[in-house]
Structure 1
Amino acid sequence: MVISDEKYVLFTTFRKSGEAVSSPVWIAGLADGTAGFTSDLNVGKVKRVRNTPRVTLQACSFGGKPKPGSAVIEATAAVKLGEEAEAIRRAIHRKYWVTTRLLATAALVRKILRRPPVDGCAIQLTLG
């Protein structure tokens, strides 16, 4: 099984000090052999990727518990914005279409309540 076939992966970034910080994310494979996921723009993992593109991935549960026997995979991450992020957004939507529709509904409610929208981005992962 390829890591992008997993439902959730533990995405580990590294602080400038070298300390690892992990969080579970969705992941989808892309036609060019890379993988990716979407994120809010102003979160710690995005800031850390901008500072240090070296990351690791490991199959995990919804809560971030690594799957027994799953391998840790080295990867390089890059933050993508605007049009560069569209292929990743489409891949995530295809794989997680029910959940992405629920999130779109939540965004609409947020707009109706006149709350500021959350800026989004995508993280592209080059494996290996």
Structure 2
Amino acid sequence: MDDATRFLGAQQYVELTTFRRNGKGVSTPVWIAPDGEDLLVVTVDDTGKTKRLAHTARVELRPCSVRGEVAPDAPRYAGRASVHRDAAAVARVKRAIGAKYGWWYRALTLVEPVMDRLPGRKPRASIVVTGVTRLEP
């Protein structure tokens, strides 16, 4: 595992920035977990993140707070991300996130089977970030 992946994978929250077609970035605080050379994010499918990643794989990442607040001197990283919707990919990201966040994540997922039965409930997707490199300030 390289230094960038190790550093970001150790953060409690990471600001994931995906890009609109016009190049404008949209940032979201996410839980992130390392798995080999990849960084994994679990998300609800058909969100803005997954829609933006359908047309550009470019992402930027920075450590942040739960509210998405980024320290002025926070390092910035670039990578490529892809969305995976198959059951194996979603299971992989859930295992990695569960292993990192422990009971916090398990508590949130306890109600998931019930929530999955609600009308309009969207399935989960896995975002896999690769090729992470630090950007110069």
Check whether the contact 2:90–2:124 (CA below 8 A) recurs between aligned residues.
no
Aligned equivalent of 1:6? 11
Aligned: 1:37 with 2:21: no
Return the offset for 1:86: 2.6
Amino acid in structure 2 at the alignment position of 1:48: R
Aligned: 1:61 with 2:54: no
Aligned: 1:97 with 2:132: no
Q: RMSD of aligned C-alpha atoms?
A: 1.6
Aligned equivalent of 1:73? 77
Deviations along 1:81-122, one digit per CA (max 9) or x if unpaired, are 2213332221101011212222222224435xx413430001
Q: Distance in 2 between matches of 1:7 and 1:97?
A: 12
Question: TM (normalized to structure 1)?
Answer: 0.89
Q: Distance in 2 between matches of 1:118 and 1:49?
A: 17
Question: TM (normalized to structure 2)?
Answer: 0.84
Q: Distance in 2 between matches of 1:68 and 1:4?
A: 20
Give the number of aligned pairs: 125
Instruction: Give 3-state SS (helix, strand or coil) of 2:66's partner.
Output: coil
1:25 pairs with one of 14, 23, 30 = 30
Q: Distance in 2 between matches of 1:108 and 1:102?
A: 12
Question: How many percent identity over aligned positions?
Answer: 32
Matches of residues 43-54 of structure 1 in structure 2 within 5 Å? 43-54=47-58
Q: Distance in 2 between matches of 1:20 and 1:57?
A: 11
Deviations along 1:17-55, one digit per CA (max 9) or x if unpaired, are 111100100000012x11111000010011001111000
Instruction: Give 3-state SS (helix, strand or coil) of 2:54's partner.
Output: helix
Deviations along 1:50-99, one digit per CA (max 9) or x if unpaired, are 11100000000000001342111001000012213332221101011212
